[in-house]
Amino acid sequence: MSTSFDHWKSELLELGHIIQDHDTNTPADEAERCFHRYCAMLDALTGAEGEQYALAVLQSVQVEHDYGAYQTARHAAWRFGETSYCAALLHELPRLITTLPDWAGEFLMVIANAADTRHAPVITCFNRLLAARPEAEQRQIAAFIAQEEDDGWLSHCAGLLGNRHGG
């Protein structure tokens, strides 16, 4: 039996596959309508809907060129709190690392950039939840973090993420 969440998630995932400028099969006005509907669905989230919504938001990140929509997605996922955000991100990181590494790096950078701010506890939360992930995922994520610290999204904040001692 389908639930309202299932219907919402299905629509979000469909719309999250942002129609690209080079797509000649979709009229421009339809692409724009889909983009605005996606953003409106994200903006409507309060953070009280439940963790599965935070996960669905990050699952909706599916293409390289988002025209600003995935920043709205990131903000929407943050509304669910640091634990839900980090858990959802860690669930999706293996896929993002493989298929959309720039998005994986950007999402990790946002967490690392919380250092020395009131949001700094998110770093400890991320590291704690990472340490609880399956070993193969930990290795994949740690290798990606090391690569990004060397010369990528995390080069300005090396040593913050993946620290098994909490942050």
- Alpha carbon distance 28, 6 (integer Å): 28
pLDDT at 107 over 80: yes
What are the sequence ranges of the domains in the chain?
A: 1-80, 82-167
Q: Say which DSSP state 161 is in.
A: S
Query: Rounded to 10 degrees, what is the CA torsion of 107, 73, 78, 46?
Result: 180
- Alpha carbon distance 20, 7 (integer Å): 24
Answer yes or no: pTM beyond 0.85. yes
Under the banding of pLDDT at 50, 70 and 90, the label for residue 167 is very low
What confidence tens digit (pLDDT) does each residue in 40-83 have?
A: 999 999 999 999 999 999 999 999 988 999 999 999 999 999 99
Please name which of 89, 122, 123 lies closest in space to residue 107, comparing C-alpha atoms: 89
Please name which of 47, 117, 125, 43 lies closest in space to residue 81, comparing C-alpha atoms: 47
Q: Round the average pLDDT of the chain to a whole number and report it.
A: 93
Predicted local distance difference test score (pLDDT) of residue 22? 86
Element (H, E) at 99: helix 82-99
Hey, CA dihedral for 69, 72, 76, 81, is it positive or negative? positive
